[in-house]
Amino acid sequence: MPPIYILIYAHSDNYRARNHLFDQIISLLNSMPEMIPSHIIAGDMNCCFDSTSQRYNRQIGKPKSFIEFLNTHFSDCLNQPNLPHDYTFRHGSSLSTLDYMFAGRDAFFKMSDGDIIFLSQEWTDHALLTKTYTTGMTNCGKGVWRANPFLAKNPIYVNKLNTAISNCVETKLDPNLSAQEKWDLIKKKTKQVTQNFSRTHCSWRKAKIKKLQSERNNLLRRYRDDSVCLNILLSPVEKELSQLQQEIVDVQRLRAGQRWHEKSERSPGYIKQTLAEKASKRTISSLKHPNSGEQCWETSTKLDAAKVFYQDLYTEEEIDLNCVERMLQYIDKTIPAEDSQDIIEDIPYEDIIQGSQRTPNGSSPGLDDNAREARWNNSEEFVEYAGIMLDNAKACDRVLPQYISKVLVKFGFPKQFVQCICKLFFDNSIYVNVNGFLTDPIEQRRGIIQGDSISPMLFNLAIEPFLLSVTKSTTISGYSLQHVKPISKRTNSWVAPPPLKVLAYADDVLTFVKSRTELLDL
């Protein structure tokens, strides 16, 4: 039976209400005795269960029945019998034990490595109670490695990376290599340095936190009766712990991909919950195989289904080159020669620095949305028109290299630039991540992968010939904007714009037609 978790937040200033809550829990659990061994009870009890402490003997309204019930059916996950309980709560300079974790017989034997961990006072005045519960293994792989951007703020890492790249440029980069090969070698060296530093730093941080927690617990035990000395000695230890814990929270916030703002604070609990929800949503339980149509449940069959689907998606199809040439004839504006030359010039280092400085810290792409409002006051004018929505399935994934090459050349882009684009987007292999496992390499023979800054611009250029062919069509008349007021009441002599034939936003296209002939021409 899986564990059943009861989280308690008991009354702090009303012991009668607190004991009534405990009695209700006892009554509930006694009604299903077969499930008691699988229960875990934890939370802020707001009373002390430590019989060795003076607070226990002084407190009014001790929950005797609840303590007896816990001693009979549960085990304390963190405190040893007949020994003083570790402090879990701090109010100013006062320390006490108010938080507990108890487990039934079956749940207790599956738990190990318990600890009471100090958390930054900026987050909470309670300690974190931890216990490892062993469950079945989840069928997830290690996923794809990503560098931690917060390392850029670590001076030790920056110095190591700077030294490694400088040595690589001086000793490893052959002048005869292409720019792409040189760049790949630098990226490989950067990844190697980053991975080595991250492993070392994470291990060091984990060991350091464990050492500081142990040091803090020793101070709590040694100076238990000397609050003045205890507060003086705890301060530097807790400050260092808070800094290391903030590093962990920053990384988790980055992985969660969200922020929670309240008076410029960030909630570690919310971040952890968001991270868990995000991981669960990314988990693929099954896939339908494109060839057989059967549901794939095993990892190997899911990987095969994903590879077959994307290999088919990124495989070239034949196109009518005559139609392509006919659409390209509508392109009448090209890039000036001087601008075309600038495209293939070396990018100045100052421009790279300036561009990176414009990027806001912690930024992330927002919703794909157009915030501009459109209002049509006279809807009756559209009675004789039909709006045709054109939505090309997998539009970005179906852009062919030979097509985009012809379009870019027609617009006046230099051939060197066009070749570079084709190398970057089409002459490569991709992997599909399925629950942390990667498929075999998939040859990408078409498609503009979304997610980088140049993809939207390339797609706009790819769809532009079609939009121009509609705009310049002599068959499609389009929608003519009309004046709402009669001529006698107009206060200006504005000339109506040309007929509106097509509207486009990304891969969504809206055209206006008023006859079957126009529709067929479209």
Could you say which DSSP state residue 116 is in? Answer: E
| Rounded (10°) angle between helices 455-471 and 321-328 | 80
120 by Cβ neighbours in 10 Å (0-12 / 13-18 / 19+) ranks as middle
Contacts of 95 by beta carbon, 8 Å cutoff, 6+ apart: 87, 89, 220, 227, 230
Q: Which long-range contacts (CB under 8 A, 24 or more apart) does 255-261 make?
A: 257/364, 259/362
Could you read off the pLDDT tens digit of each residue along the chain, which spans 522 residues? Answer: 778 899 999 998 899 999 999 999 999 999 999 999 999 999 999 998 988 887 777 778 889 999 999 999 999 999 888 888 888 998 888 888 999 999 999 899 888 888 888 888 888 999 999 998 877 555 677 777 788 888 888 899 999 999 999 998 888 788 888 877 888 889 989 999 999 998 888 889 889 998 999 999 889 888 888 888 888 898 899 999 988 888 888 877 776 664 444 434 455 565 566 656 666 566 788 899 999 999 998 889 999 999 999 999 888 888 888 888 888 999 988 888 888 888 888 888 888 788 777 765 544 333 333 333 334 444 444 456 667 787 777 778 888 999 999 999 999 999 999 998 888 888 788 889 888 888 999 998 898 877 777 888 999 999 999 999 888 888 888 888 765 555 565 566 666 678 888 888 888 888 888 888 888 777
- How far, in Å, CA of 119 to CA of 124, rounded? 7
CB 103 within 8 A of CB 40: yes
Contacts of 388 by beta carbon, 8 Å cutoff, 6+ apart: 510, 511, 512, 513, 519, 522
CB 410 within 8 A of CB 328: yes
The overall pTM is greater than 0.85: no
Give me 108's structure tokens: 């207790």
